[in-house]
Amino acid sequence: MTDREPIISIRDLRKTYHAGEVDVHALRGVDLDVAAGEFVSVIGPSGSGKSTLFHILGGLTPPTSGTVHIAGRDLFGMTDAERTELRKSTVGFVFQKYNLLPTLTARGNIEIARDIAHKNGPLDAQFLEALRLLGIEKRLDHKPRALSGGEQQRVAIARALVNHPAILLADEPTGNLDTENSNAVLGLLRDLNQSMGQTILMITHNPEAAGYGHRTVRMRDGRIE
């Protein structure tokens, strides 16, 4: 996989947060390449910098220094508007807590992501195939409160994929699920990666879950081991 042109290329990435008068060095020089179509698991203890890496890759926070290229775009020095554009077009998020909008149905949650990306018209064949894989076609008109945790996470995955992002960032996607649903969601992520070539970067605490990816990257103290 790694012989291909990397879709994510990170060099000496550092991130320092200022908590009052204390500087917290969340990332202390991360280097990482992820090839297009790769499924990479990032594993590490709490405070190792996994989430910070995830937030930087997703354009939710800027890096302090270093270079981060995603699909050819350099994240360093991006304005807020450019990072917003990145989230809209290049990155899809899947969160531990599903983060569906409670007032909208599953379909509405997917449609709002398209609306934000200014996409109209019928859903494309590739996404319909993803929906079929996710097995939620018949649950689309239900609101999140009427869906099980596993179903909610599948809707969240569908929402993350609807705009065909270059990378799917999954932050502990099975953290709130029981074993059966966890295995189902992880299996789906693997299927999406295999059948549709979706690049996936997944953060997890669970080594078993990490095993679903092509390779596992271990983080500790803001660095990749």
Pick the closer one to another protein by CB: 26 or 184: 26
Pick the closer one to another protein by CB: 163 or 184: 163
Structure tokens at 206: 């669970």
From CA 125, how far away is CA 123, in angstroms rounded? 7
Within residues 100-139, the interface with another protein by CB under 8 A covers 100-104, 108, 111-117
From CA 40, how far away is CA 213, in angstroms rounded? 5
Tell me the closest approach of the beta carbon of residue 159 to another protein, in angstroms: 8
- Binding test (CB under 8 A) with another protein, winner from 15, 40, 93, 182: 93
Pick the closer one to another protein by CB: 51 or 67: 51
Per-residue x/- marks for another protein, 33-62, CB under 8 A?
A: ----------------------x--x-xx-
Stretch near another protein under the rule CB under 8 A, chosen from 86-94, 126-134, 174-182, 203-211: 86-94
Tell me the closest approach of the beta carbon of residue 109 to another protein, in angstroms: 9
How many beta carbons lie within 10 A of that of residue 225, not counting itself? 10
- DSSP letters for 83-137: HHHHHHHTEEEE-TT----TTS-HHHHHHHHHHHTT--SSPPHHHHHHHHHHT-G
From CA 130, how far away is CA 83, in angstroms rounded? 26
Tell me the closest approach of the beta carbon of residue 2 to another protein, in angstroms: 28
Q: String of b and e for 172-196 (b: at least 16 CB within 10 Å)?
A: bbbbbbeeebbbbbbebbbebbeee
Pick the closer one to another protein by CB: 163 or 204: 163
Residues that bind another protein (CB under 8 A): 55, 58, 60-61, 81, 84-89, 93, 95, 99-104, 108, 111-117, 159
